[in-house]
């Protein structure tokens, strides 16, 4: 399954400052929690929060232990997305279930998200890949031709890695390897925690997608 888009300007970006337009009316419950997520993230970006662009991407390893790693979280036409490499362990783990966690200290808001995923259209990936810096491009080709992402290195290989990358010649500056890909995330559950100071209790709520309709559940913080 592929997701494609004619709007390429958002592929590399996150959220245009103060320009995000909600798809639902926030005055009516239940709202689309994705709107709330993007609006809160836009507030964090306005405050120059260094974590506003990041998420912890959580999957399950073969031993059933959850494993998380920090990734850049993309806004792709108003939907969540990440770029990954097929040589990474998370590529094979994605079908076992995906969770995301974000926390933006500037606004004191945490989100936990459960999602399924679809593979992004290769044409969209190629367009984005052309705009990447040289070192990430070389890493993608290193994964393809030398060693896959997360492979172990012996001490000598580790010392010489930077040199090897510098010497690596890209087959084509505009040609992404087949292993360079991305995922469009399709959330079905959001949980939001908003910290509050003083005598006010923290605010916590959950949104669950049931038969295509978001259901809203206030929670005990």
**pLDDT at residue 15 in the model:** 38
User: Average pLDDT in the 43-70 region?
Assistant: 95
User: Average pLDDT in the 211-218 region?
Assistant: 95
More confident residue, 103 or 22: 103
CA distance 202 to 162: 46
CA distance 218 to 221: 9
**pLDDT at residue 6 in the model:** 42
Contact assessment for residue 55 and residue 103, using Cβ atoms and an 8 Å cutoff: no
Q: What is the CATH number of domain 2-132+179-219?
A: 2.30.110.10
Domain positions in the chain are 2-132+179-219
> What is the chain's mean pLDDT, rounded?
86
CA distance 4 to 37: 22
**pLDDT of 25 above 80:** no
**pLDDT at residue 8 in the model:** 38
Contact assessment for residue 149 and residue 74, using Cβ atoms and an 8 Å cutoff: no
**pLDDT of 213 above 70:** yes
Instruction: Kindly report the backbone phi and psi dihedral angles of residue 116, in degrees, each rounded to the nearest multiple of 5, phi listed first.
Output: -95, -175
**Is the torsion defined by CA of 39, 13, 138, 95 positive or negative?**
positive
User: What burial letters (b/e) apply to 171-205, b meaning 16+ CB within 10 Å?
Assistant: eeeeebbebbbbbbbebebbbbbeeeeeeeeeebb
Q: What is the pLDDT of residues 167-202, one digit of tens each?
A: 888 887 788 899 999 999 999 999 999 998 788 899
CA distance 129 to 131: 5
């Amino acid at each position: 399954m592929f997701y494609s888009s004619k709007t390429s300007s958002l592929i590399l970006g996150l959220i245009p400052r103060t320009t995000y337009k909600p798809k639902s009316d926030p005055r009516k419950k239940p709202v689309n929690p994705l709107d709330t997520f993007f609006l809160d993230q836009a507030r964090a970006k306005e405050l120059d929060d260094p974590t506003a662009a990041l998420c912890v991407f959580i999957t399950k390893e073969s031993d059933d232990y959850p494993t998380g790693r920090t990734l850049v979280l993309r806004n792709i036409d108003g939907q969540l997305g990440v770029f990954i490499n097929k040589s990474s362990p998370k590529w094979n783990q994605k079908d076992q279930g995906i969770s995301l966690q974000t926390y933006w200290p500037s606004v004191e808001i945490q989100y936990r998200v459960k999602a399924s995923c679809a593979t992004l259209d290769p044409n969209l990936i190629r367009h984005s890949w052309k705009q990447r810096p040289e070192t990430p491009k070389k890493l993608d080709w290193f994964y393809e031709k030398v060693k896959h992402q997360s492979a172990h290195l012996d001490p000598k290989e580790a010392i010489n890695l930077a040199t090897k990358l510098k010497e690596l010649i890209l087959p084509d500056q505009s040609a992404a390897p087949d292993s360079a890909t991305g995922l469009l995330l399709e959330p079905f559950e959001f949980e939001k925690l908003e910290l509050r100071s003083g005598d006010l209790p923290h605010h916590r709520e959950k949104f669950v997608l049931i038969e295509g309709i978001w259901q809203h559940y206030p929670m005990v913080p």
